[in-house]
Structure 1
Amino acid sequence: MAFLSSFDISASGMSAQRLRMDIASENIANMDTTRTEGGGAYKRKLVSFQSYETRSFQDVLKSARDGRGIASRKAGVRVSAITEDDREMQKVYNPEHPDADEDGYVTLSNVDVLKETVDSMAAYRSYEANVTALNAMKLMAQKALEIGR
């Protein structure tokens, strides 16, 4: 049923936005980290999304055989990549810092708390919009079931 794929779309959007909020939180938590396991300061992480639609030949064949037509498919959004931001790292002169280089400069993270706050707010609003859409679809399904009474 094509109507049920709407639930998949909203659910995948909520999962993707939750991960986006998690990454923004991780960025804020590590903004003062000057030494990581890989060496150097923490680099801001970015989340990339990609839409998807799964519709294999086998699914189409089964749908046609069962008389459901070819509308049976899953669609939504998924995280395609989590990458590191390549923006320039900030250097601050502090020769007493344990992570200072030979010239006395400490490399700081490229995380900007304002950008992370805005990104997490946008992710929250997108999550909220998906919840609203999911609730609207649930209400429509309940009303459709009441028609038969």
Structure 2
Amino acid sequence: MPDAIGIAGTALTVHRKWLDAVADNLANVNTATATSGDAFRARYIVARADASGQGVHVDGVEFGDAQGRIVHEPNHPLADADGNVRYPDIDMSEQMGALIMAQRGYQANAAVVDRAKETYQAALQIGRN
């Protein structure tokens, strides 16, 4: 049982970091910058299975395009001489889909930890009797 808890625990960590990245991306979807600067870069978590086969870990982070998308908003305080500002190139529907997958993965692994803990406690009770 401790192996099940450990493996699910590694997945909980990966899913939490994934949720954090998606939340950050969604929070910055409307962050405007001047066209002379870089747009907010979306963050994407890269996960890999452990070499030992005992779980997963975050292998790195990849970032979206700093070019973003140019939007004509002449009244925006950051608008350039042509009336353009730069926004991140973040697809809201893609991020919402990722949010649902990360939430479900987190919930599933939390359930595995709970069930493994219950099973371990039941085995201890049997050993005491």
- Using structure 2 for the length normalisation, give the TM-score: 0.83
For residue 84 of structure 1, report the CA deviation from its aligned partner: 0.9
Contact 2:11 2:106 in 1 (8 A): yes
- Give, in whole Å, the separation in 2 of the partners of 1:40 and 1:118: 26
Structure 2 residue runs without a partner (length 5+) = none
Equivalence map 1:6-85=2 (5 Å): 6-35=4-33, 39-54=37-52, 75-85=54-64
**Larger Cα-atom Rg:** 1
Q: Which consecutive segments of 4 or more residues in structure 1 shift more than 6 A?
A: none
Which residue identity lines up with residue 63 of structure 2 in the other structure? E
Which residue identity lines up with residue 58 of structure 2 in the other structure? V
Give the total of aligned pairs: 126
For residue 41 of structure 1, report the CA deviation from its aligned partner: 1.5
Contact 1:10 1:130 in 2 (8 A): yes
For residue 90 of structure 1, report the CA deviation from its aligned partner: 2.2
Q: Which whole-Å deviations, capped at 9, do the CAs of 1:89-109 have from their partners, x for residues lacking one?
A: 222112333333443322211
- Give, in whole Å, the separation in 1 of the partners of 2:80 and 2:3: 55
Structure 1 residue runs without a partner (length 5+) = 55-73
Percent identity over paired residues: 27
**SS of equivalent residue, structure 2 residue 115:** helix
**SS of equivalent residue, structure 2 residue 54:** strand
**SS of equivalent residue, structure 1 residue 9:** helix
Contact 1:95 1:103 in 2 (8 A): yes
